[in-house]
């Protein structure tokens, strides 16, 4: 049974758009949101939208958040729609996250990591108590926050980037060797996911996945539907300089920088004392997560699922989080939101058909629906 073309409702649809905008504006005394304020003060929301939209454009993400009144799914959808209108000019050479200008790096594997642990901006140690002082914040005090913070910063010589924790483990022979560089990675924006897919497709799909979806499936693994048991070797947040060839010299030049979150987890080791396993020597297994913006829960969830999917691809899926098809086809926010939302569209003909079939079935069963109603 198909759909039917219908007419009418144009005025109502236009009215709905006006009604939505009216609620955005609120009363006559309200001030419009300024994009810079969204980008700065709602930075984690912007991070979520650039990540799930798959386009690193914080300014447009702020605009989408304003336009769709804080709906992250719609905002990510708008970024995806925007990107589909733009020509693709280039594919970057592989960028090196070791050059990340870090603003936060922690490890739950080691206390002393090369360069030290820096908590950076985090709520990890904050009490989840409402700060009523922000209800009516004094603009002068607000503007002084950054000045005071910088004035109180100790004078230290710190590098912009730091060595990776995994490098130390790898040097000890506790990790699998790095794979040789292969050809061009799988491009999920141009190629459909036809299973089995390479790990590159899984990483790209999860990098722009909806945070809650990734977290839910990763959480199933954490709670027992899986056995990754991760330890975070390193979680880092910072700005990766994007290096592209200079149009004249061809030498790599910095085109700008991208805020991203990266997580490497160490999981159960593979192999045994007899040398059965990874390359004849028991080594830890690894999971990797990365995404645009500052999204720690997403990066951790992705790293856990990466490890779970590697296991599923190798040994077969023992639970949903190890099944590439289950995970990768259900974590995209724009896909899943679109499917859920389409149920709001008219299904008049299909539902009419459902009713007809039910009435026919009831008639065949000898049920007199009218008499039944009268008796009731």
Residue 310: which of 296, 294, 327, 295 has the closest Cα? Answer: 327
Q: What is the DSSP letter of 133?
A: G
Residue 83: which of 188, 217, 175, 1 has the closest Cα? Answer: 188
- Is 262 a binding residue for another protein by CB under 8 A? The answer is yes
CA 91 to chain centre: 21
Binding segment (CB under 8 A) for another protein, from list 16-24, 28-36, 83-91, 223-231: 83-91
Sites for another protein among residues 274-333 (CB under 8 A) = 286-288, 290-292, 306
Angle at 187 between CA 182 and CA 192, to 5 degrees: 120
The one among 33, 44, 103, 216 contacting another protein by CB under 8 A: 103
- Is 194 a binding residue for another protein by CB under 8 A? The answer is no
- Is 2 a binding residue for another protein by CB under 8 A? The answer is no
Residue with tokens 């929301």: 45
Q: In angstroms, rounded to a whole number, what is the distance separating the alpha carbons of residues 103 and 237?
A: 6
Sites for another protein among residues 236-255 (CB under 8 A) = 238-239, 241-242, 244-249, 251-255
- Is 36 a binding residue for another protein by CB under 8 A? The answer is no
- Is 189 a binding residue for another protein by CB under 8 A? The answer is yes
Is residue 105 helix, strand or coil?
strand
- Is 176 a binding residue for another protein by CB under 8 A? The answer is yes
Query: What's the min distance (Å) between Cβ of 292 and another protein?
Result: 5
Query: What's the min distance (Å) between Cβ of 102 and another protein?
Result: 7
Q: In angstroms, rounded to a whole number, what is the distance separating the alpha carbons of residues 189 and 341?
A: 22
Sites for another protein among residues 347-376 (CB under 8 A) = none
Binding segment (CB under 8 A) for another protein, from list 10-18, 126-134, 181-189, 354-362: 181-189
The one among 10, 29, 88, 223 contacting another protein by CB under 8 A: 88
Taking residue 200's Cβ as centre, other Cβ atoms within 10 Å add up to 15
Q: Say if residues 118 and 105 touch (Cβ distance below 8 Å).
A: yes
Question: Which C-beta is closer to another protein: that of 208 or that of 311?
Answer: 208
Residue 369: which of 352, 353, 360 has the closest Cα? Answer: 360
Question: Which C-beta is closer to another protein: that of 21 or that of 160?
Answer: 160
- Is 124 a binding residue for another protein by CB under 8 A? The answer is no
Residue 300: which of 107, 142, 100 has the closest Cα? Answer: 107
Sites for another protein among residues 3-32 (CB under 8 A) = none
The one among 14, 21, 160, 272 contacting another protein by CB under 8 A: 160
The one among 49, 61, 188, 299 contacting another protein by CB under 8 A: 188
Residue 321: which of 296, 302, 298 has the closest Cα? Answer: 302
Q: What is the DSSP letter of 118?
A: B
Question: Which C-beta is closer to another protein: that of 279 or that of 346?
Answer: 279
């Amino acid at each position: 049974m198909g759909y039917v073309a219908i007419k009418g409702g144009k005025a109502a649809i236009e009215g709905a758009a006006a009604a939505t905008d009216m609620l955005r504006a609120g009363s006559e005394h309200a001030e419009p949101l300024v994009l810079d304020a969204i980008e700065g003060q709602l930075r984690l929301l912007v991070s979520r939208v650039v990540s799930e939209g798959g386009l690193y454009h914080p300014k447009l993400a702020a605009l989408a958040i304003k336009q769709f009144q804080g709906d992250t799914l719609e905002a990510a959808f708008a970024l995806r729609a925007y990107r589909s209108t733009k020509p693709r000019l280039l594919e970057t050479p592989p960028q090196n996250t070791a050059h990340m200008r870090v603003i936060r790096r922690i490890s739950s594997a080691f206390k002393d990591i090369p360069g030290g642990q820096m908590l950076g901006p985090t709520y990890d140690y904050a009490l989840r108590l409402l700060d009523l002082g922000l209800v009516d914040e004094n603009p002068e005090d607000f503007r002084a926050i950054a000045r005071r913070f910088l004035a109180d910063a100790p004078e230290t010589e710190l590098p912009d980037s730091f060595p990776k924790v995994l490098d130390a483990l790898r040097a000890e022979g506790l990790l699998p060797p790095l794979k040789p560089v292969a050809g061009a990675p799988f491009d999920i924006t141009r190629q459909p996911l036809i299973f089995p897919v390479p790990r590159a497709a899984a990483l790209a799909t999860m990098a722009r996945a909806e945070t809650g979806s990734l977290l839910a499936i990763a959480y199933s693994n954490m709670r027992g539907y899986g056995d990754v048991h991760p330890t975070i070797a390193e979680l880092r947040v910072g700005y990766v300089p994007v290096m592209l060839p200079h149009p004249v010299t061809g030498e790599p030049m910095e085109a700008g920088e991208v805020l991203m979150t990266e997580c490497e987890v160490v999981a159960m080791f593979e192999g045994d004392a007899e040398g059965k396993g990874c390359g004849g020597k028991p080594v830890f297994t690894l999971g990797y997560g990365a995404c645009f913006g500052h999204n720690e829960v997403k990066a951790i969830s992705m790293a856990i699922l990466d490890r779970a999917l590697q296991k599923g691809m190798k040994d077969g899926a023992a639970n949903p989080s190890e099944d590439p098809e289950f995970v990768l086809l259900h974590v995209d926010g724009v896909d899943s939101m679109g499917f859920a939302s389409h149920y709001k569209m008219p299904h008049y003909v299909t539902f009419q058909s459902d009713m007809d079939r039910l009435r026919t079935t009831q008639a065949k069963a000898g049920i007199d629906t009218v008499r039944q109603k009268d008796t009731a």
